[in-house]
Structure 1
Amino acid sequence: MKPVRTLLISALFLLVLMAVFVWLYPHMPARVPTHWNAQGRINGYMSPLGAVATPMIAIAVLAVLTLLLPVISPRGYDIKSFVSVYVLIMLAVQAYVLVSALGVLLNAAGHPVQMPLVCALATGVLFMVMGNYMGKLRKNFFIGIRTPWTLASDAVWERTHRMSGWLFMLAGMAIMAIALTSAPVTWLLGIALSAVLIPVVYSYVAYRRVEARD
């Protein structure tokens, strides 16, 4: 899929979000819950307009970046060689924003939506989608595990992202499974943070091994 065609999907996301907002608006309070703490208690509010405008802006910005980043990529770090994978990941992130926003709007209108659970499940799915395609990313400055060591070596980039793909898949499944058991949110955060930090450390170790071999 070409980046320009993703504008249609992004536009559909925005239309769905706006349509749901118009449908639910008469049932919304003046202050819409938009954030929950680690104990699942509400600790953030917005106006109804702010609750829909914020995710719409986020989706629009991601849509623009989907088009812009392949164009401005420097020589040697071109996104065009894996553009279909890049597009799918960017759309997955937009879908994550959409699902979270729809949950917020439905919850505000009185529908029984457990937002901490919805966000955890959506995060797990996003990790799994990213993990499935992580190994297909090629060296670039905008997406993937971008450390000094992965950017310095094609071999380190490939090894790190191949390992990260499995790690993200496992983390995504673990997040979803733990979320369904009503485990503390700190567990979910720990898994997500580990899935992000472990590849960073691994990239350094892999670089030292490749450097020693050369």
Structure 2
Amino acid sequence: MRLHRNLLVSTVFFVVAVIAGVWLYPQLPADVPTHWDLHNHVNGVTSRFWAAAFPALGVLAVAVLAVVLPAVSPRQFAIRRFDGAWGVLMLVMQGFLLVAGLGILLPGAGYAVSMPTIVMLATGVLYLLLGNYMGKLRRNFFIGIRTPWTLASDAVWERTHRFGGRLFMLGGLATVLIALADPAPWLLVVVLVAVWLIAAAYSYFIHLRLEGSR
């Protein structure tokens, strides 16, 4: 039942992405801005076809990975131990790619939409949802805070992800507030890098505490 539900949601995301791409395609320029520097200046473009196809291809790629990765995961890192959280987070990633892709296409097609605001809001919501489910993740190679210390120990993984869940939610909330107040890409980079660095450092700290206690 859960697999059927996830497949249905993925199909809806894919159909929406295809419809949006087909609808916006005639309105897009030959070269669509798809990459910006930290000061929000365009420094990269993509051809109209691939830009319009990106949301649908992104959704499709994550949907395929959601099925393939659990099948190839080593037994001691089996994803089935947390398949409920895995399925939800794969859908969250698909939703993020859909919204972020449309946030890039709509301004390119001439609509008065703020790309930085949409992408940063989508990123903030993504981190909030990741943080909410992070405590349910178990050791694996594909999702979560994967450092040498978390992958080597269930105890370090669990403690790091309990802390990391709160940290990711805080980073997500900060990103949403920044997007609403001043959607500057460099602030987004600062917040996201800080979240990952603090989480990685915390995993090493927990590793040292547990190893010292032995």
Q: How many residues end up aligned between the 2 structures? A: 214
Q: CA separation of 1:63/1:183 partners in 2, compared to 1, >3 Å: closer, same or farther?
A: closer
Q: Secondary structure at the match of 2:74?
A: coil
Structure 2 CA distance for aligned equivalents of residues 3 and 56 of structure 1: 20
Match of 1:82? 82
Q: Distance in 2 between matches of 1:190 and 1:128?
A: 17
Which residue in the other structure is 1:45 paired with?
A: 45
What's the counterpart of residue 99 of structure 1?
Answer: 99
Letter in 1 for 2:199: P
Residue 59 of structure 1 corresponds to 59
Per-residue deviation, residues 20-51 of structure 1 (Å, max 9, x unmatched)? 12222232222222122222222222222110
One-letter amino acid of the counterpart of residue 47, structure 2: S
The range that moved more, 97-106 or 127-136, is 97-106
CA distance 1:185–1:105, shift in 2 (3 Å): closer
Counterpart-to-counterpart distance in 1, 2:82 and 2:13 = 24
| Rounded Cα–Cα distance in structure 2 between residues aligned with 1:64 and 1:183 | 32
Aligned Cα root-mean-square deviation (Å): 1.6
**Residues 1:183 and 1:116: Cα distance change in structure 2 (over 3 Å):** closer
Mapped to 1, the partners of 2:185 and 2:210 lie a distance apart of: 38
Partners of 2:77 and 2:141 within 8 A in 1:
yes
Structure 1 runs not aligned, ≥5 long: none
Task: Note the C-alpha offset of 1:176.
Answer: 1.0
- After superposition, give the CA deviation of every residue in 1:66-85 in whole Å (9 maximum; x if it has no partner): 00111122122111011010
The residue correspondences of 1:197-212 to structure 2 (distance < 5 A) are 197-212=197-212
Using a 3 Å threshold, how does the CA distance of structure 1 residues 178 and 40 change in structure 2: closer, same or farther? same
Counterpart for residue 34 of structure 1: 34
Q: Which residue of 2 aligns with 1:190?
A: 190
Q: 2-side partners of 1:143 and 1:167: how far apart?
A: 16
| C-alpha contact (below 8 Å) 1:137/1:144 kept by paired residues | yes
Q: Which moved further from structure 2: 55-64 or 141-150?
A: 55-64
**Is the alpha carbon distance of 1:2 and 1:68 closer, same or farther for their aligned partners in structure 2, counting shifts above 3 Å?**
farther
| SS of aligned partner of 1:38 | coil
Task: Determine if contact 1:31/1:45 at 8 Å carries over to the other structure.
Answer: yes
Query: What TM-score does the superposition give when structure 1 sets the normalisation length?
Result: 0.93
Moved more, 14-23 or 91-100: 14-23
Amino acid corresponding to residue 181 of structure 2 in structure 1 = T
Give SS of 2:76's match: coil
Report the TM-score, using the length of structure 2 for normalisation. 0.93
Residue 161 of structure 1, CA deviation? 0.1
CA distance in 1, matches of 2:27, 2:61: 29
Residue 166 in structure 1 maps to residue 172 in structure 2: no
